[in-house]
Chain A
Amino acid sequence: MIDTHRYDMPNGTDIAWCPACGNYPILTIVKQAFAELGISPDRAVMCSGIGQAAKMPQYLRINYFNGLHGRALPPAVAIKVANPELTVIAESGDGDTYGEGGNHFLHTIRRNPDITNIVHDNMIYGLTKGQASPTSSKGMKNPIQPNGVVVEPFNPIALAIANGATFVARANAGDIKESKEIVKSAILHKGYALVDILQPCVIFNKINTYQWFKEHTYYLDENYRSHDRMEALRIAFDLDRLALGIIYQQAGAPTYETLVREGNDPLHTRHFEVEKLRKLITSFR
């Protein structure tokens, strides 16, 4: 049994998730991954956007920045730059990350900051009551499209790999043990790490259930070469059988914070030399 009590909120904390929601096992996965990596709550920050998944930082003991819908990634990047010694997690849902925050998803990947991006992918909008999300399957009936979704779903895995993400993984909320290992690898990865966690929405998504995920997923075996980008893309495009595990990983790429600043000291400890500024001012004579 992994002891996660240091991340636990006090008993009686009101949790706004529905009973049997896929967010609960993800909370457990994250706490266990933190515990096994020995991450101290006061040295880690969780950034989130808006939605049921984005309430995650309210339900564990950690520093957090619970900001705007779609905007979990920008503050996460800046926090890592401002203090590279912090462990930074951006955690939100599929609508938040892939829809509202799509542009940040594209460009944060390009920057390759050393942060972990955990996406609760339940393929539906829960908090706004059952509309289609970017990852909803074509034909899924919902209140806004009563005859079914007419457009193709977003493929976050293929897009992330094609866009140069240095760590891309898919996990299943129904499998805490394996998912915890994937999240641990993502946190340990030096660079941007995407973990798309398949998650049922027991209230609104009647298609992608715990059972559906069980039937439509498989784990990549140990012979799989996760550094082969073209092979990873081939796997990513297979939407009939969804691969679980680390689909692509590239080590050694420079991280954003090392490219835009020197050292690891928190920026708030920085002092500029007044004399240097005086000299610069004088140069404008």
Chain B
Amino acid sequence: MRRFTEGVSIVLGGSAGQGIQTVEGMLVSVLKREGYRVFACKEYMSRIRGGSNSTEIRIGNDAPSAYVKRIDFLFALDGDILKHLESRLDDDTIVLGERERVCHDAKRCPVIDVPFGRFATELGNPIYTSTVAVGIVLGLLGIGKEVLGEYIREHFSRKGEDIVAKNIEAAGKGYDFGKHMAYDEGVEVSFGRDESVKEALLLSGDQALGLGALAAGCDYISSYPMSPGTGLLAFLAQYGKDFGVVVDQAEDEIAAINHALGAWYAGARAIVTTSGGGFDLMTEAVSLAGMIETPIVVHIGQRPGPSTGLPTRTEQADLNLALYAGHGEFPRAIFAPGTGQEAFMLMQQAFDIADRYQVPVFILSDQYFLDSLTSLSENSLEIRPVERHIVETEPEYKRYALTESGISPRGIPGYGTGLVGVDSDEHDETAHITEDAAVRVTMHEKRLRKIIGLRTDAIKPSVFGDISRAETVVVSWGSNRGVLEESLRILGHEDVAGLHFSQVYPLAKQGLKLLSGKHVIVLENNAGGQFAQVLKSEYGLSAVDTILQYDGSPFAIEDVVTNIKDMLI
């Protein structure tokens, strides 16, 4: 008898092109509509067809929000996936698959046979295999048969009644099969449902950022495709037209960011999206933005480097890149969302801060975050009014007028009667080139002063647990919010609290108070402890322990719990 009352981890694995994504999409939608809290993440190879890819779907009572290594049910679509996921399988894992496809030696096959071939013959076409698979999972869990029917009617109706009927038949066959299998294997699933989840949104990191960009009044995106940064470009290409967003695929990353700077200079709000390698090419223009004080928003979807690295895997090793990109000294701000809600909010914040302070602003995400799906409440997505920080110019207008805050009112060409010049050379208040040392010092200090305001406006970190009582505080940033929150919940240790930073530079001063006198452990996906270094330099903390992982996969909750336990002894 296998009873699942807290949660379950289902993994679909196979090669690229076998329809894993389709199954995942249907499954999570149906589960969410049934009121189950779901989380899904994926790992895949850098190839178009073949290889071994997998998607993990978690359902649970306590809003699952991170990756676990444990696999309760593995749907194997081919034999290679068993080898690929070997380290995550144990005696408790129930493996389902078509025996003749999955095992070379059918006699010694640990797989519960799912005769996809027979279903295809009965249905007259193998294209219904994905629907059969969804039916089987739902049958196994004993939930969602009617909702799956609704979903099929909604999504396939434009393909005709016949297709709808065939899919419903396929779903039914799968469901019955799954139900019988659950009976045979003694599987029983019962966990809580939440009525509010039925109305919740189901968003990937990409989609949350994309919706956030629309809410931020983004007018222009110019980018060159690079995984995993391309999703945002594709999102705005798909939905941006209705909102008047100009979408430009540039010839290279250098062009992309120089386009974006031109757009900002002329009054539009622009963004570029890329990954570390593409961003390397943009760094000269980041320095330009620092000098000409033209705003810019840069999204970096991180993946493991150096160089091409692991193109489809995850890492958080480009914090230093964003922090130090561009020659010379100039202020900047860096955000790193940990939830869909944060992504939506921070995108608006990024545009506002860039616009207000006329500095480069970065959003750091990663493959794991961008590809993960979570449910979140629609009410949690606040749309703030777009405030364009531009002024109508007069004939005496000076683009770089000296001010106490360091922020000069930003005019744009064609709005007002003044002239607006920007120059990459050191310049005076009127944007004319100078080599006067005194002017240089004055202008440099004017630009650098903006860090004071940026620091004041920095977003406070989020606290998990009773931080005032805790002796140990585990810190994470960006995509490692969910894993920290869930791991601490499982650990259930009153002396350990968590702190998550969604703004990683400059740091809000409140964080220092929370961390003073604590045993600080920083959890991050890199080898150098980059955020640990930021904590030291920003807060002056002396000793900081780290839990680091840089194998291209996200932190698993089990590993984090073990690691924290080990560090408490």
Contact residues of A with B, CB < 8 Å?
A: 16, 41-43, 45, 47, 50, 55, 57-58, 61-68, 71, 74-79, 81-83, 85-86, 103-104, 106-107, 260-262, 266-268, 270-272, 274, 276-278, 280-282, 284-285
Please encode chain B, from 452 to 490, with 1 for each CB lying within 8 Å of some chain A CB and 0 for all others.
Answer: 000000000000000000000000000000000000000
> In the complex, what residues of B have CB within 8 A of residue A277's CB?
211, 214-215, 243, 383
User: In the complex, what's the smallest C-beta–C-beta distance from A54 to chain B, in angstroms?
Assistant: 10
Write 7 A-B pairs (CB below 8 A) sorted by A numbering. A78-B259, A266-B267, A267-B244, A267-B268, A277-B214, A282-B201, A285-B202
Do residues B262 and A78 form an inter-chain contact, with CB atoms below 8 A?
A: yes
Give the residue of B203, B217, B425 whose beta carbon is less than 8 angstroms from that of A284: B203
Do residues A267 and B417 form an inter-chain contact, with CB atoms below 8 A?
A: no
Do residues B201 and A285 form an inter-chain contact, with CB atoms below 8 A?
A: yes
Complex Cα distance, B266 from A63, in Å, reads 10
Do residues A276 and B243 form an inter-chain contact, with CB atoms below 8 A?
A: yes
B378 interface residue (CB < 8 Å to A): yes
Please encode chain B, from 133 to 144, with 1 for each CB lying within 8 Å of some chain A CB and 0 for all others.
Answer: 000000000000
Do residues B214 and A267 form an inter-chain contact, with CB atoms below 8 A?
A: no
Do residues A71 and B258 form an inter-chain contact, with CB atoms below 8 A?
A: yes
> In the complex, what residues of B have CB within 8 A of residue A43's CB?
413-414
B265 interface residue (CB < 8 Å to A): yes
B200 interface residue (CB < 8 Å to A): yes
Give the residue of B239, B246, B265 whose beta carbon is less than 8 angstroms from that of A79: B265
Complex Cα distance, B415 from A63, in Å, reads 11
Do residues B378 and A282 form an inter-chain contact, with CB atoms below 8 A?
A: yes
Closest to A43 in B: B414
B261 interface residue (CB < 8 Å to A): yes
B219 interface residue (CB < 8 Å to A): yes
Give the residue of A57, A83, A280 whose beta carbon is less than 8 angstroms from that of B266: A83
Give the residue of B242, B266, B268 whose beta carbon is less than 8 angstroms from that of A86: B266
Which 8 A-B residue pairings sit nearest by Cβ, starting from the closest? A75-B262, A268-B267, A78-B262, A74-B258, A82-B266, A63-B413, A107-B251, A267-B268
Complex Cα distance, B412 from A266, in Å, reads 11
Give the residue of B255, B386, B417, B421 whose beta carbon is less than 8 angstroms from that of A74: B255
Do residues A82 and B254 form an inter-chain contact, with CB atoms below 8 A?
A: no
B250 interface residue (CB < 8 Å to A): yes
Do residues A281 and B201 form an inter-chain contact, with CB atoms below 8 A?
A: yes
Closest to B208 in A: A284
> In the complex, what residues of A have CB within 8 A of residue B203's CB?
284
Complex Cα distance, B270 from A190, in Å, reads 25
Do residues A268 and B262 form an inter-chain contact, with CB atoms below 8 A?
A: no
B420 interface residue (CB < 8 Å to A): yes
In the complex with contacts A41-B419, A81-B263, A260-B247 CB distance below 8 A: yes
User: In the complex, what's the smallest C-beta–C-beta distance from B290 to chain A, in angstroms?
Assistant: 12
In the complex with contacts A277-B214, A281-B211, A270-B262 CB distance below 8 A: no
> In the complex, what residues of A have CB within 8 A of residue B219's CB?
82, 267-268, 270
B381 interface residue (CB < 8 Å to A): yes
Do residues A78 and B418 form an inter-chain contact, with CB atoms below 8 A?
A: no
Closest to A85 in B: B414
> In the complex, what residues of A have CB within 8 A of residue B292's CB?
65, 67
User: In the complex, what's the smallest C-beta–C-beta distance from B17 to chain A, in angstroms?
Assistant: 26
User: In the complex, what's the smallest C-beta–C-beta distance from A261 to chain B, in angstroms?
Assistant: 5
Do residues A79 and B419 form an inter-chain contact, with CB atoms below 8 A?
A: no
User: In the complex, what's the smallest C-beta–C-beta distance from A56 to chain B, in angstroms?
Assistant: 12
Complex Cα distance, B285 from A104, in Å, reads 15
B248 interface residue (CB < 8 Å to A): yes
Give the residue of B214, B215, B263 whose beta carbon is less than 8 angstroms from that of A78: B263
Closest to B214 in A: A277
Complex Cα distance, B415 from A103, in Å, reads 32
Give the residue of A267, A272, A276, A280 whose beta carbon is less than 8 angstroms from that of B246: A267
> In the complex, what residues of B have CB within 8 A of residue A78's CB?
220, 222, 248, 258-263, 266, 268, 270
Most chain A beta-carbon neighbours within 10 Å: one of B261, B270, B415: B261
Complex Cα distance, B244 from A5, in Å, reads 39
> In the complex, what residues of A have CB within 8 A of residue B412's CB?
268
Complex Cα distance, B220 from A268, in Å, reads 11
Do residues A81 and B420 form an inter-chain contact, with CB atoms below 8 A?
A: no
Complex Cα distance, B239 from A285, in Å, reads 16
In the complex with contacts A260-B248, A268-B390, A58-B255 CB distance below 8 A: no
User: In the complex, what's the smallest C-beta–C-beta distance from A182 to chain B, in angstroms?
Assistant: 25
Do residues A68 and B202 form an inter-chain contact, with CB atoms below 8 A?
A: no
Closest to B242 in A: A276
Most chain A beta-carbon neighbours within 10 Å: one of B383, B418, B423: B423
Closest to A263 in B: B244
Please encode chain B, from 187 to 225, with 1 for each CB lying within 8 Å of some chain A CB and 0 for all others.
Answer: 000000000000111110001000100110101101000
B432 interface residue (CB < 8 Å to A): yes
B252 interface residue (CB < 8 Å to A): yes
Give the residue of A58, A76, A81, A267 whose beta carbon is less than 8 angstroms from that of B423: A58
Complex Cα distance, B397 from A41, in Å, reads 14
Do residues B244 and A65 form an inter-chain contact, with CB atoms below 8 A?
A: no
Using A66-B423, A82-B219, A103-B252 as known contacts, list a sample of 5 further A-B pairs with CB atoms less than 8 Å apart, ordered by residue number in A.
Answer: A42-B393, A43-B413, A57-B421, A277-B383, A282-B201
Closest to B207 in A: A284
> In the complex, what residues of A have CB within 8 A of residue B418's CB?
42
User: In the complex, what's the smallest C-beta–C-beta distance from A212 to chain B, in angstroms?
Assistant: 31
Most chain B beta-carbon neighbours within 10 Å: one of A57, A61, A65, A271: A65
User: In the complex, what's the smallest C-beta–C-beta distance from B190 to chain A, in angstroms?
Assistant: 25
Complex Cα distance, B416 from A86, in Å, reads 13
Do residues B413 and A104 form an inter-chain contact, with CB atoms below 8 A?
A: no
In the complex with contacts A42-B414, A268-B412, A82-B378 CB distance below 8 A: no
Closest to A274 in B: B383
> In the complex, what residues of B have CB within 8 A of residue A77's CB?
259, 262
Give the residue of B256, B265, B414, B424 whose beta carbon is less than 8 angstroms from that of A50: B424
Do residues A68 and B420 form an inter-chain contact, with CB atoms below 8 A?
A: no
User: In the complex, what's the smallest C-beta–C-beta distance from B408 to chain A, in angstroms?
Assistant: 16
> In the complex, what residues of B have CB within 8 A of residue A63's CB?
413-414, 419-421
Do residues B258 and A68 form an inter-chain contact, with CB atoms below 8 A?
A: yes
